[in-house]
A and B are shown apart, each in its own frame.
Chain A
Amino acid sequence: MSAVMKAPDVRDEYLASLAPDTNALAGAGSDWLNALRAEAAACVNSLPYPTTHDEEWRFTDFGLLRKTVFASAADISPEVSLTDIAPFVLPESAKSRLVFINGIYAPHLSAGANLPQGVVMSNLAAGLSSHDAVIRAHLAQQLNFHNEAFAALNTSHISDGALVLIAKDTVCPAPIHLLFIATGATADTPQASYPRCLIIAEAGSTCALIEDYVCLNSGVYFTDAVCEITIGENAVVEHTRLQRESHSAFHMAYGAVALARGSNYTAHNIAFGARISRHDLRITQNGEAAQCTLNGLALISGRQIADTHTVMDHAQPNGQSTQLHKCIADGGAHAVFNGKIFVRKDAQHTHAAQQSRNLLLSNKARIDTKPQLEIFADDVKCAHGATVSQLETEEMFYLNSRGLSPLTARNLLIYAFAEEIVDRIPVTSLVKQLSKTLSEQIMEHT
């Protein structure tokens, strides 16, 4: 929409400087991939840098990013050991883990064993030699990067990434942990990395994914991520996404999910980290009777900005979606939630419900929430609601009247508010890990 109005001559030198140089592009991989990357690079070189003048970027000023020069992380391979990553390792995924250091595949930290025949879990570069056709059919197909500078930027950099293929009717018994580790301030020049995930769950299959962005050291770096998921007929995908980057980092991410008939997608989107983060998620129900559950939580403080934009596109009849997004902003933090729901003309009997619930903990913090319903079918049930509240006096008094100090009471209430989302994550050890982070993070900012 907004792209139409943009003048043709909007090339942004900063963006262009992040694009790979043409030499690097030429020898990257197969012809089709090179062509794709070149096409994306051309977009990067011709798209404007998003600013708060764009409707879609109204609340989130990414201007700070361009004050920093980033080097592409591909050149740097610092030594990271299993001990270093131990705090992030999940026992449930002990044998189903792909690890990337600054976006580069780290085989010595990854683990894959005992997975059923129908499960392919590998790095994209390796996958290209064995599964070229299926990758080609799906890569950059769900996500339209032509109008999105940072999605184009990621695409122009594709050389590796995470590949998960779940064959027809296969149940993947363990959650697949895609662990993207930033080493943070280890290099002289701040680094940019371009993590890429391609997930294909064929008809009747079932899998759980954990897409996890963490850092080993604090510091300024830039993550520009894209994740594409294709879900076949009656397949079930449960996707937990954790953004726990350094509080000095920049995190930009695009997700695109396509659902076929009768399929089921559940997302848990958790954002604790980054100085400025933005997550754009577009989910399209391309087949009838698809079901989606979207849970979201942003917990930020200090000068953090966390922006979540979701689009739930009901394109076919009898679809369902339930969304609960929560933001908690303390200090001078700024949380943004924009949740669009489209119900297309053919999507009769759609049930869509969206809740945006927000907790504002300081008078300097800010939360902008905007539910947007666009309904073109007549026989549908759609509901949405948004609340921004402070801690309730009555709740505080109840806890105080039981002897709990105002600080303890406050922390308990914030924790409880956040925990409702964290608790829904299907991986027990992760829930424990996050609950701990949650209480630490809440304590830290009181």
Chain B
Amino acid sequence: MISSNSKVILEVRNLSASVAGIEILKGINLTVRSGEVHAIMGPNGSGKSTFSKVLAGHPGYTVTGGEVLFEGQNLLELPPEERARNGVFLAFQYPIEIPGVSNSAFLRLTYNTQQAHRGGEELDPLEFHDFIQEKCKIVEMDPRFLDRSVNEGFSGGEKKRNEILQMAVLDPRLAILDETDSGLDIDALRIVASGVNKLMTPDNAVIMVTHYQRLLNYITPDFVHVMRRGRIIKTGGKELALELETRGYDWVDDEYQRAADAHGRATAKGSASAAGAGRAGAASA
């Protein structure tokens, strides 16, 4: 979906972040334009969810360097609710349960909050009822889930589906889907993926964190990034995901290390410490 006149939605420059004093993200660079689908893959613990949550503004993570521009605006200075209202949406890897809050009331509250912010029309419960029925169709969600408490007692797959329903309601500019495919059965994966495809427009963009190629069979990425130890160590097209599926991650790492070493030797001449590209990059931030 890349087109020549597409706008930059997200610009991540040399982003580093820590949690509980441990540095997790160590200089991430990423540019996302409207209409694009980016996949982020990488081993467990490499920092994919951390990156997602830092973008959404989780208070537990401290940004220690770099910058993030969302539609040209400094995203990092905004609290999470304002990021959301401006169009950032995170579909959680582990959506939480909120007993006592009905799903439909919650969806309406978030929708109307969003509308108030955008200067759009707010919906009363009746109007919202019709609106949400249509949205449910996108992810083929049984409307009975609307009467239950948010995610309470939902199966893993049902929770993921509910996340995409929220995406459908909030119509974000940038959706970050953190392992939305995990927990979905074969049919559900196809349905949810086709839901995401329906929500894609030339004006919005998606970052998908995933471990498996099968999601990418349904949602074709324009870029595939490999994250390892808090860095994006390789970026390729959709064929990279296929290659990762057969070869694993170690070769990417080896390749990266060799490049870093070469880069390190090159830059060492001008610097006392030659610890590699990432580190040099972080130090300059």
The residues of A with any CB-CB pair to B shorter than 8 Å are 392-395, 397-406, 408-409, 412-413, 415-420, 423
Contact = CB atoms under 8 A, between A and B. Distances in A.
B60 A393 contact: yes
Contacts of B109: 404, 408, 412
Given A394-B96, A416-B99, A404 B60 contact: no
B110 A400 contact: no
A402 B59 CA distance: 15
Nearest to A398: B96
A188 to B, nearest CB: 44
Q: Which of A395, A402, A417, A418 counts the most chain B CB atoms within 10 A?
A: A402
Interface of B: 56-60, 79-81, 83-85, 89-90, 92, 95-96, 98-101, 106, 109-110, 113-114, 117, 149, 166, 170
B96 A401 contact: no
A420 B170 CA distance: 27
A399 B109 CA distance: 10
A402 B166 contact: yes
Contacts of B117: 403
A406 B96 contact: no
Nearest to B112: A403
A408 B113 contact: yes
A398 B98 contact: yes
Top 3 nearest A-B pairs (CB, nearest first) are A416-B100, A403-B84, A400-B80
Given A408-B109, A408-B113, A400 B84 contact: yes
Nearest to A396: B59
Contact of A398 (B83, B95, B100): B95
Contacts of B83: 401
A401 B59 contact: no
Contact of B100 (A404, A405, A417): A417
A93 B19 CA distance: 56
B90 A395 contact: no
Given A397-B80, A402-B166, A402-B170, A416 B98 contact: yes
7 contacts: A400-B84, A401-B84, A401-B90, A402-B84, A403-B113, A415-B100, A416-B98
B107 to A, nearest CB: 9
Nearest to A397: B58
Nearest to B96: A398
B72 to A, nearest CB: 20
A409 B59 CA distance: 15
Contacts of B90: 401
Contact of B101 (A400, A403, A406, A416): A416
Contacts of A393: 59-60
B110 A402 contact: yes
A195 B84 CA distance: 53
Contacts of B89: 401
A395 B92 CA distance: 12
A225 to B, nearest CB: 30
A420 B101 CA distance: 9
Given A403-B84, A403-B113, A412 B57 contact: no
Nearest to A395: B96
B114 to A, nearest CB: 5
Q: Which of A394, A401, A420 counts the most chain B CB atoms within 10 A?
A: A401
Contacts of A404: 81, 109-110, 113
Contacts of B79: 400, 406
Contacts of A392: 96
B110 A403 contact: yes
A406 B84 CA distance: 13
Given A395-B96, A408-B109, A401 B56 contact: yes
Contacts of B101: 412-413, 415-416
A443 B117 CA distance: 21
A407 to B, nearest CB: 10
